[in-house]
Structure 1
Amino acid sequence: MSNNSSLQMAVVPESFLSKLEEGLEEVKNLLSEKTEEELNSKWVESGEARKMLGISQKTWQTYRDKRIIPFSQFGRKIYVKRADLEAFLEGNRIAK
């Protein structure tokens, strides 16, 4: 029998497994908090804003040129407040 196919077992105290499970649960919670935090972040980059609106690069440029949606620019990076995107969408909503 080769070493690659042999199964090795180890005896681990139950208290260790319990602490390991608690640690994994804590990591899981921290990751989900971080994901939620990112989803609720105040600012989004230009590319994400375009995806949210479902518009092309050219349309996005037109919106910026006409100041339809407020934005901030740092160097070449453009950021938009998530609240401004939501306000734009609400303001252009067509009621039934």
Structure 2
Amino acid sequence: MHTQNNQSFLITVVPQDWLEEMKEGLEEMKSLIIKQKETEFGEQWIESPKARQMLGVSAKTWQTYRDNRIIPFSQFGRKIYVKRQDLEDFLQSNYIPAK
């Protein structure tokens, strides 16, 4: 161990194959994290047809909800997306408890 300016440096020798395995493991973890973020995005935003199906409403009713801004949405060209949480909030706000 070599000390310079109150900092210590330690050099460790490791086998090349171990280093390659470590690198592959890190790449795999990175890939899983990216995939997880993509999955979370897919779970957060829902395309219009699936949202309509989840609510069990007709195309006309769904259009009325959007026209009256009952449920928030995002639109890119002809594609419409809604947040899953907004759908859940809508359902919860219309919840009628049992007696």
Q: Letter of the 1:60 partner, please give it.
A: W
- Tell me the TM-score normalised to structure 1 length: 0.60
**2:88 alignment partner, one of 72, 86, 89:** 86
The alignment of Structure 1 onto Structure 2 pairs a total of residues equal to 63
Structure 2 runs not aligned, ≥5 long: 1-31
After superposing on structure 2, the runs of 4+ consecutive aligned residues of structure 1 that deviate more than 3 Å are none
Q: Which has the higher contact order (CA 8 A, sep 6+)?
A: 1
Q: Max radius of gyration: which structure?
A: 2
1:94: Cα distance to partner? 0.3
Which sections of structure 1, spanning at least 5 residues, go unmatched? 1-29
CA RMSD of aligned residues (A): 2.0
What does residue 56 of structure 2 align with? 54
Correspondences of 1:28-47 after superposition (within 5 Å): 37=39, 41-47=43-49
* CA offset digits 1:10-34 (Å, max 9, x no partner): xxxxxxxxxxxxxxxxxxxx8xx97
Quick check: which one's strand share is greater? 2
